[in-house]
Amino acid sequence: MDQRRRVPRTDAVLADPRLVAAEGRLGRAVVKEAVVRAQSRARQGGIEPEQVADAAVEGLPPYAASLRPVLNLTGVIVHTNLGRAPLSRAAAEAATAAAGYTDVEFDLVTGVRARRGRGALDALATAVSGAQDAHVVNNNAAALVLVATALASGREIVVSRGELVEIGDGFRIPDLLVSTGARLREVGTTNRTAYDDYERAVGPETGFVLKVHPSNFRVEGFTGSVGIERLTGLGVPVVADIGSGLLTRERLLPDEPDAASTLAAGADLVTASADKLLGGPQAGLLLGRRDLVERCRRHPLARALRVGKTTLAALEATLRGPEPPVLGALRAEPDTLHVRARALAAELSLAGIDAVAVPSLATVGGGGAPGVTLPSAAVSLPERLAVPLRTGEPPVVGRIEAGRLLLDLRALPRERDGEVARAVLKAGG
C-alpha cells in the first residue's frame, strides 16, 4: 500500500488532545501549520504515518509570536538588537495584569473618565525631583518630535553643530527635527561651541535652544561646549535630550547626564528613553515645566504618539518596584562574575568542552556611556559553537573575539547559569 495513503487526515490529527490544548495557546493557524509540515514529512518518508501527531507536537513553536527570548551574553547590557532593557519580573507581571480590561482612563470611585496613565505619571514625578509634570510617548525620538512640533513648528531650534547626531539605523536628529516644520539654526563648530554662538543666534524666531547629549560617541582634544546652567540666561526655553534615561546620578557613570540633575541645572524640559538605563519598557519621557509639558500633551500629535496600557503599567512597576535587571547588570561585582565564570568553565571542561574562564570588558550599550567599559568575566569557547548556540533553545548569543566565542556573564542573572551550561553541552555534543 502506498505509504502516502496512510498519512492521517488533517482533521484527525488536529483532534489529538495535545494539539487541541495547543490550539487554545497558539491559535488554530499555527497548530495546523505544524500538522501540515508533519504530514509532508510522512509523505516523503521522513517519519512513519503513525508519528505525524507526535511530530506535529514537537514542531509547535513555544509562543504564538515569532519573537524568541534570548540569553544575552554579548557583554552589552542594553543591546538594541536584543530588545534593549529586559523588564523586571514586577514590570512583566504588571503588563500582564493590564492586558485585559483596566482602569487606564477610568476612576473606579467616581465612575467617570480619569487622567490616562496617572499612576505612571505620579511615579515619574516622585522619581525625578524638579519635574513639575511629565508625559509619556512611545520612544525618545517621539518625545523630541512632539516638543519640536508643539514649541517650534515654523520657528527656529538653536542647536550646536557638535550635537547633530545620528541615533542609529540611519536616523539623524536634524532630519527628525526638520520633519516637524521647525528650522534648525546651527551654531558653533563640530568640536567647539561657545556661549556667544548661542547668544547671537537667539531671537524672536527662536522656539527653544536644544542640548543633545552625544550618547553614542565622544569628541576629544580641542573641544568646548556650553552647559545647561549658562544657557538658561538666553530668555528662551532650554530643552535637553539626555537620551539614556538615567533619572538620577549613577556612581558608576559619573559623566552620564541624568534627568534630576539636568532639571536642577535649569533645563525647562528633559527628554529621555525609558528602555535604556531606566530599565523599563520602550517609551519616551518628557519631564519639566508644567506649562510646556501641557502644551505638548495638548498638541494633536500627542494622540498619535501615546503609549498603550501595558507600557504604562510596566513603566510604573519599573519606577516603583525592585531594581530592574539593567541596574543589576550594571552594578554586578566583577569578583562575583569571575567566580561564576570559573564554575561554569569547570563544569563544561569536565564534560569534554574546551572552556576557559577569562577576563572580559562589558559595555553599557544602547547609546549610553560611550567609551565606558565595565570589568567582567566570560567563558571562552571554540568559535564553531556560536551558530548552534544562537539557533538552539533557548538561543544563547555571545561575541566573537580573537577567534573564540566569549560568553560574558555581566548581563546574565546568576540563576540562569545552569541554562547556559545545558545549552553549551547540547551544542557541543
pLDDT digits (tens, 9 = 90+) for 85-119: 999 999 999 999 999 999 999 999 999 999 999 99
How many Cβ atoms sit within 10 Å of the Cβ of residue 113? 9
147 and 286 Cβ atoms separated by less than 8 Å: yes
Give which of 141, 365, 394, 400 is closest to 256, Cα–Cα.
365
Q: For 311-338, what is the mean pLDDT?
A: 97
Strand partners, 287: 134, 270
Which of 60-74, 187-201, 221-235, 370-384 is least confident? 221-235
Q: Give the pLDDT confidence of 397-413 residue by residue, as tens digits.
A: 999 999 999 999 999 99
Q: Higher model confidence: residue 122 or residue 164?
A: 122
d(CA 125, CA 146): 20
Q: For 30-47, what is the mean pLDDT?
A: 93
Q: For 222-229, what is the mean pLDDT?
A: 82
For residue 384, is pLDDT > 80? yes
d(CA 34, CA 16): 13
pLDDT band at 2 (very low <50, low <70, confident <90, very high): low
362 and 408 Cβ atoms separated by less than 8 Å: yes
d(CA 118, CA 139): 18
- DSSP per-residue codes, 293-333: HHHHHHSTHHHHHB--HHHHHHHHHHHHSSPPHHHHHHT--
Q: Give the pLDDT confidence of 7-24 residue by residue, as tens digits.
A: 999 999 999 999 999 999
d(CA 258, CA 260): 6
d(CA 425, CA 429): 6
Q: For 275-301, what is the mean pLDDT?
A: 97
Q: What pLDDT shows up at residue 171?
A: 76
Q: What pLDDT shows up at residue 219?
A: 67
Ranges of CATH 3.40.640.10 domains, the chain: 89-322
Which residues contact residue 199 at a Cβ distance below 8 angstroms, ignoring those fewer than 6 apart? 234
pLDDT band at 1 (very low <50, low <70, confident <90, very high): low
Record: fold of 71-82+327-428:
Aspartate Aminotransferase, domain 1 (3.90.1150)
Q: Give the pLDDT confidence of 409-425 residue by residue, as tens digits.
A: 999 999 999 999 999 99
Ranges of CATH 3.90.1150.180 domains, the chain: 71-82+327-428
pLDDT band at 371 (very low <50, low <70, confident <90, very high): confident
159 and 189 Cβ atoms separated by less than 8 Å: no
Q: For 40-47, what is the mean pLDDT?
A: 91
Give which of 250, 240, 214, 419 is closest to 326, Cα–Cα.
250
* DSSP strand pairing (396-397 vs 71-72): parallel
For residue 239, is pLDDT > 90? yes
Q: Higher model confidence: residue 161 or residue 287?
A: 287
Q: What pLDDT shows up at residue 367?
A: 76
pTM for the model stands at 0.90
pLDDT band at 370 (very low <50, low <70, confident <90, very high): confident
Torsion sign (Cα): 326, 327, 330, 336: negative
Q: Give the pLDDT confidence of 120-150 residue by residue, as tens digits.
A: 999 999 999 899 999 999 999 999 999 999 9
| Secondary structure (3-state) at 370 | strand
Strands (E), 90-191: 133-137, 156-160, 166-168, 171-172, 183-187
Q: What pLDDT shows up at residue 224?
A: 78
Torsion sign (Cα): 202, 204, 207, 208: positive
Q: What pLDDT shows up at residue 62?
A: 85
| Secondary structure (3-state) at 187 | strand
At residue 357, what is the residue type? Answer: A
Q: What is the separation of C-alpha 427 from the centre of its chain, rounded to a whole number of angstroms?
A: 28
d(CA 159, CA 405): 43
Q: Which CATH number fits domain 89-322: 2.60.40.10, 1.10.1740.10, 3.40.640.10, 1.10.10.10?
A: 3.40.640.10
Q: What percent of the chain has pLDDT over 90?
A: 83
CA atoms within 13 A on the CB side of 79: 20
Q: What pLDDT shows up at residue 262?
A: 96
Average pLDDT, the chain: 93
> Which three cell numbers mark 55?
511530530
